[in-house]
Amino acid sequence: MKTQLIRSLFLGIAALALASCQSTSGPTSAVACPKCETVWFNAGGSAGKGQPVALRSAGAMNCPDCQNKASPMLKGLSMNSHTCKSCGGTMFHCR
């Protein structure tokens, strides 16, 4: 039950981030880690500029390796997916 609630919350956050990608003035891409239950995106101006904003569920863990990998992925300097050695989550890049 708790896992299903967390999964639903994560999918809702991811859908919100992806829906905002469709706006011309909003983010154009996002990076998500289902294990950390976190979605990162660049706020404001052009994609690839500034620090990524992280949206995570209330009980989510904070994995520094995923955080460090999110910024290069958003800037297009890294691959489209990554398996984290710390948390074991597979991050993916949504464009």
- State how far the Cα of 37 lies from the Cα of 39, in Å rounded to an integer: 7
Distances (CA, A) of 62 to 23, 48, 68, 72, 95: 28, 22, 11, 18, 23
Instruction: Dump pLDDT digits (tens) for 25-65.
Output: 566 788 888 888 888 888 765 544 567 788 888 877 788 88
Q: Taking the model in full, what pTM does it have?
A: 0.62
